[in-house]
Amino acid sequence: MTEVRNWAGNHRYGATAIRRPATLDQVREVVASAAHVHALGSRHSFNDGADSAGVLISLENLAPDIVVDSRAATVSVSGGTTYGVLAEALNRQGFALHNLASLPHISVAGAIATATHGSGNRNGNLATAVRALQLVTSGGDLLTVSRADTPDFAGMVVGLGALGVVTRVTLDIQPAFEVRQDVFDNLPWARVLERFDEVSASAYSVSLFTDWRGDTVGQAWLKSRTDAGARFEGRPEFFGGTAATSDRHPLPGVSAENCTKQLGVPGPWSDRLAHFRMGFTPSSGDELQSEYLLPGEHAVAAIEVMRDLAGQISPLLQVSEIRTVAADDLWLSPNYGRAGIGLHLTWKPEAEAVQNLLPLIEARLAPFAARPHWGKLFHAEAATLAPLYEKLPDFRALAARLDPEWKFRNDFLDRTVFGV
Ligand SMILES: Cc1cc2nc3c(=O)[nH]c(=O)nc-3n(C[C@H](O)[C@H](O)[C@H](O)COP(=O)(O)OP(=O)(O)OC[C@H]3O[C@@H](n4cnc5c(N)ncnc54)[C@H](O)[C@@H]3O)c2cc1C
């Protein structure tokens, strides 16, 4: 296979071939005839989670086939469709998703497979919107499962590609809404930590950007719905931070051109809930990422740990983001059974130094039962992760049932989920 790498370039896929079927029947044939196969999304994960010892199967050539059912308040879409394409189509028809990640470039099936999330105390991760899935299982058979009718559905959504190739996804939708985005600079840590719950509850979605050094949080991004009951009035000050007077990029000194509009200008949800715009490079483009999700009651103590580690973290860091995510019941979701915060790190592209630092960060966050983001870099393996996921034995049993020949298993799954 010619060299194919993930978006960040830090992982070179070891698979023997990439297949890009254009029809559902071709997807079924590829899966049925392969000894080892794994689904590949838009390649935005930072680890080997989407790799295979056999073939990779990408759904990018399948038509999005976006079908809105306004009575059921759902949209169904081909799994390889990006959130950017889906969001625009939905908005045009007067509908919205509850949230987006920081970037719209990722595929729907790839994002839900790793429990990708945005921010907001009341917003579950993107996988929580999944109402039904269509999967091609290891024999090439079609399996349709739904929240309403399938007993193990909660185990199937954040599936890490271990259960089959997700060819269609049905998501909850709601009427389209408008969002305004306001950014504030330099919030004193003391004020933020004293009233962290109030800070994170201040808007529909709140993100804090920091390098952990010094006495202030670099930026706070507030995304506020402008529909009734959720109005956010612009203000010059926010917990000691001052309102930005021009659009900001989370990374100091980087042009805000690739960011969604700020300065309190209302706009469609599809143009505001992500930080980065479709058609532009998200984030810095030359980076690695890690993230740890932990229960809300430990938010302040965990932030203090990260600030304490600033001397080790900051030399390798571009920026960190603190977000909140609501609790859910999806077995492998880092927010299974608990609402909490995500401590995200955008690293400089120094893979070895970052990998060497992760064990220290994970050890210091271990008392807070921190669970790593499945799509980013982390050090922990199955023995460490198993006690953090009470439904992991059930997930292993589900995978054994749906994939008895271990077709979808890969090194990542063996290392982090199955403990081989
Ligand atoms: C710049 C940048 C910003 C990011 N921002 C955020 C953020 O705001 N929030 C957040 O939570 N994460 C974020 N991420 C991480 C990213 O959202 C996740 O890694 C996500 O899983 C990537 O989706 P993908 O489509 O690229 O899937 P891939 O990385 O290609 O694959 C990820 C996993 O999904 C599985 N998969 C893909 N397609 C299918 C399918 N059809 N059926 C079954 N399984 C499938 C793969 O097998 C693999 O296990 C960011 C990443 C980047 C590069």
For the chain, the structural domain boundaries read 67-176, 178-372
pLDDT score for 253: 83
Q: Retrieve residue 402's tokens.
A: 């749906």
What's the rounded mean pLDDT across residues 43-71?
98
The pLDDT assigned to 406 comes to 96
Mean pLDDT of 270-291: 91
The mean per-residue pLDDT over the stretch 305-324 comes to 98
pLDDT digits (tens, 9 = 90+) for 120-131: 999 999 999 999
Q: Look up residue 293 and give its two tokens.
A: 């999700």
Read off the pLDDT of each residue in 272-300 and give the average, rounded to a whole number: 93
Share of the chain above pLDDT 70, in %: 99
**For residue 50, pLDDT beyond 90:** yes
Label residue 383 by pLDDT band (50, 70, 90): very high
d(CA 311, CA 309): 5
CB atoms within 10 A of CB 108: 30
How do 340-347 and 237-238 pair as beta strands?
Answer: unpaired
Distance 375 CA to ligand 1 centre (A): 6
The predicted pLDDT at position 232 comes to 67
Task: Give pLDDT, residue 285.
Answer: 85
Is the CB of 161 within 6 Å of ligand 1?
yes
Q: What does the pLDDT read at residue 167? A: 98
Is the pLDDT at 303 greater than 80, yes or no? yes
Q: Which amino acid is at 356?
A: N
DSSP letter assigned to residue 244: P
For 1-5, 157-161, 203-207, 227-231, which range has the lowest pLDDT when averaged over its residues? 227-231
Q: Is the beta carbon of 295 within 6 A of some atom in ligand 1? A: no
pLDDT of 78: 98
Residue minimizing CA distance to atom 50 of ligand 1: 44
Q: Which of 49, 53, 195, 199 has its CA nearest to residue 111?
A: 49
Ligand 1 pocket, residue 346 CB under 6 Å: no
The domain made up of 67-176 has a fold known as 3.30.465
* Residue where the block lists tokens 């929580």: 128
Residue 40 CA to ligand 1 centre (angstroms): 9
Cα of 248 to ligand 1 centre, how many Å? 25
Query: How many whole angstroms separate alpha carbon 318 and alpha carbon 283?
Result: 10
pLDDT > 80? residue 112: yes
- Indicate which atom in ligand 1 lies nearest the CA of residue 135: 42
pLDDT of residue 39: 98
Rg (CA), the chain: 20
Give the pLDDT score at 233. 72
CA of 45 to the centre of ligand 1 (A): 5
Overall average pLDDT of the 317-346 stretch:
98
pLDDT at 229 over 70: no
Which of 337, 304, 348 is CA-nearest to residue 322? 304
Please check the confidence at residue 152 and state whether its pLDDT lies above 90.
Answer: yes
Q: Which atom of ligand 1 is nearest to the CA of 375?
A: 19
Which amino acid residue places its CA nearest to atom 32 of ligand 1? 110
Task: Say if residue 2's pLDDT is above 90.
Answer: no
230 pLDDT more than 70: no
The CATH T-level fold of domain 178-372 is Alpha-Beta Plaits (3.30.70)
